[in-house]
Amino acid sequence: MNLSLRYRLLPYVACFLACAAVDLLYFPPATIFPDEHRFLTSAIRLAATGQFWVGGDRAWEMPGTALFFAPAVRLFGAHAAVIPIRFAQAILLVIQCGLIALIGRRIFGKPIVGFIAACIAAVYPFFVYYQGLLLSETLFDTWFLAGIAALFWWRDRGMQFDSALVVTCFCFVAATMTKATLTILPPLLLTATAWIAGVNWRRLGIILIAASCLYGAFMSPWWMRNAVLFHTFVPFATSSAQNLYLGNNPHNRDAGIDWKSDVDPAVAAKMFAIPDELDRRHAFTKAALDYIEQNPRAFLRAAGKKFVRFWNIVPNAAAFRTGLYSIISAASFGPILVLALIGAVRCWRQWRLLAPLYLIIGYFTFVYMVTIASLRYRLPLEPLLIILAAEPLAAAFQRFRQSPVLHRPTSRS
């Protein structure tokens, strides 16, 4: 199916216009949620001092979002930067649509799959909504998708030690510097992709070493900065321990994510009061691991509940579980999930081709079953589901175009 340039540009124009409408008409010209305020405050301090802080901590989260917001703060001022940041994130979402189209076309070898995936992503409610919030999601997803696109490019080029390998590692590191969810996944994902493609063991070892060295080299500025500040190795963010504790403590019986109701306030306050963030991380980690060790059945039950929370088609929060938000969520994510499953079944013979996507989906699901689960944390996987969903939609569209009904000659009276 050959589309004119005008039609190929349609999803990207529609995406930007949808984002602009939401940014200007739906959201107020200020931050809404506490997490937004935290990211913006870190960017303000970074722009003013050149130093990255999160409150009184130096490595509570990764610095990528603050680095991305800081230029707008410098140019427009702290309060006026909100709208420019939102429009910058709208551009990032347009780029995501292009990356989604590229990945779909590269995996399935059909431009129509990429075009349909881009059209869905352009107006997908979760993407359009989150780009209007000053959070890490939009920036992380952009770099993450760039890494996945580069991964398939590297695989199609024969998995050589070339620029494609360097670009793949760089994009994944940029995503990790925005949000630490990936941790050490990228070198392992590259190696697993090569193994599934049939690469021999000797070359697999070399790929693992090369990818690890590149990943470490790109991460080294953050590691060296932390070594100077903490006099020890701090590879990622210290806040992960708090999420582990929130999801695994005696008071969290429903696998929730609310610090007000899902922890013992006195116990949490005592650990939050620890002044050194590494000692605080150790205290939260020890409390969570002790609970898991002493209550393995409760941990497994909670993991099952977190799985349901993570893959829920409607919001988990009571305030959003009913009404318009619930309808929009079910009407958008629900069909995408069903179609993605259909796409996976239809393409079961191509499992080696799709294995990197499946590994990523499995990894994210596991991480949030162990820690805390939220629809927001599922956002990086939804572009992959959209790509899988686009395959059966493309097949149905092509069958419809080739239908004899459409080509039946009409009689003239």
Give residue-wise pLDDT tens across range 253-301.
999 999 999 999 999 999 999 999 999 999 999 999 999 999 999 999 9
**pLDDT band at residue 320, thresholds of 50, 70 and 90?**
confident
Domains in the chain, number = 1
**pLDDT band at residue 322, thresholds of 50, 70 and 90?**
confident
Structural domain that includes position 196 = 140-178+184-233
| pLDDT score recorded for residue 334 | 96
**pLDDT band at residue 89, thresholds of 50, 70 and 90?**
very high
Let me know if residue 167 belongs to a domain. Answer: yes
Give residue-wise pLDDT tens across range 166-176.
999 999 999 99
Q: Return the bridge partners of 57, or none.
A: 54
Let me know if residue 297 belongs to a domain. Answer: no
**pLDDT band at residue 329, thresholds of 50, 70 and 90?**
very high
Is there a contact between 371 and 255 (Cβ–Cβ < 8 Å)? no
Let me know if residue 69 belongs to a domain. Answer: no
Let me know if residue 220 belongs to a domain. Answer: yes
Q: Stretch 307-334: mean pLDDT, rounded?
A: 88
| pLDDT score recorded for residue 363 | 98
| Reduced 3-state DSSP string for the chain | CCCCHHHHHHHHHHHHHHHHHHHHHHCCCCCCCHHHHHHHHHHHHHHHHCCCCECCECCCCCCHHHHHHHHHHHHHCCCCCHHHHHHHHHHHHHHHHHHHHHHHHHHHCCHHHHHHHHHHHHCCHHHHHHHCCCCCHHHHHHHHHHHHHHHHHHHHCCCCCCHHHHHHHHHHHHHHHHCHHHCCHHHHHHHHHHHHCCCCHHHHHHHHHHHHHHHHHHHHHHHHHHHHHHCCCCCCCCCHHHHHHHHCCCCCCCCCCCCCCCCCHHHHHHHHCCCCHHHHHHHHHHHHHHHHHHCHHHHHHHHHHHHHHHCCCCCCCHHHCCCHHHHHHHHHHHHHHHHHHHHHHHCHHHHHHHHHHHHHHHHHHHHHHHCCCCHHHHHHHHHHHHHHHHHHHHHHHHHHHCCHHHHCCCCCC
Give residue-wise pLDDT tens across range 160-210.
999 999 999 999 999 999 999 999 999 999 999 999 999 999 999 999 999
**For all residues of the chain together, what is the average pLDDT?**
94
CA-CA distance, 357 to 350, in Å (whole number)? 12
The CA-based diameter of the chain, rounded to the nearest angstrom, is 90
| pLDDT score recorded for residue 273 | 97
Q: What percent of the chain has pLDDT over 90?
A: 91
| pLDDT score recorded for residue 192 | 98
Let me know if residue 198 belongs to a domain. Answer: yes
Give residue-wise pLDDT tens across range 13-41.
999 999 999 999 999 999 999 999 999 99
**pLDDT band at residue 325, thresholds of 50, 70 and 90?**
confident
| pLDDT score recorded for residue 413 | 35
CA-CA distance, 360 to 358, in Å (whole number)? 5
**pLDDT band at residue 372, thresholds of 50, 70 and 90?**
very high
Q: Stretch 51-60: mean pLDDT, rounded?
A: 97
Quick check: 236 pLDDT over 70?
Answer: yes
Let me know if residue 202 belongs to a domain. Answer: yes
Let me know if residue 170 belongs to a domain. Answer: yes
| pLDDT score recorded for residue 137 | 97
**pLDDT band at residue 409, thresholds of 50, 70 and 90?**
low
Let me know if residue 108 belongs to a domain. Answer: no
Q: What is the pTM of this model?
A: 0.95
